[in-house]
Amino acid sequence: MAQSIDPRTALKNILEQEELFPRVRPAEISQAAVKLASKQIIAAGQSIDDLKAINASIGDELFAKCLQGLTAHQIKLLARRLDPGAEDIQVNTGNSALRHTRALLSGADAQTRVLPDRQETDADSHPAPKKNKYLGRKSFRTGR
């Protein structure tokens, strides 16, 4: 019967005994670390302090790769979970949610941030454009 080893111990042994595993490149180890850390980052229940601890444990470069590798949906969920009171415009797209998450992790306080007031410009005072009669035709709406 084969001896069973804990997967963590096996991974630790691979990393400690580089001479036995010469074909395992540092880039592959980096990819494995990013994959494992990404899985932990998107896990439910992570707070900002938890993410900062993950950042400290794997380093800034790999942590940035983890955040960059998340899908738009995952990063939006993460941003919403870290800051439930965030404005929709801050977490509406993947890029804005990523920017917001990075700001939260760099120390921006979730409660004290406010968006600047929208100032009225000359564009707001222009009248609405004329309605296009063609768009109201049934043939345009139904495609017949």
Each residue of 57-75: pLDDT tens digit? Answer: 999 999 999 999 999 999 9
Let me know: does 37 contact 62? Beta carbons within 8 Å: yes
């296009």: which residue's tokens?
A: 132
Its pTM surpasses 0.85: no
For residue 122, what are the contacts with CB-CB under 8 A and spacing of at least 6? none
In angstroms, rounded to a whole number, what is the distance separating the alpha carbons of residues 40 and 50? 10
The pLDDT value given to residue 115: 47
* pLDDT category of residue 112 using cuts at 50, 70 and 90: very low
SS3 call for 46: coil
Q: At residue 141, does pLDDT exceed 50?
A: yes
Taking the C-alpha atoms of residue 139 and residue 144, their distance in angstroms, rounded to an integer, is 5
**Average pLDDT score over the chain:** 81
Residue 8's pLDDT is: 87
pLDDT classification of 34: cutoffs 50, 70, 90: very high
Higher pLDDT, 122 or 28: 28
Q: What is the DSSP secondary structure assignment for residue 8, as one 8-state letter?
A: H
Question: Is 128 within 8 Å of 113 (Cβ atoms)?
Answer: no
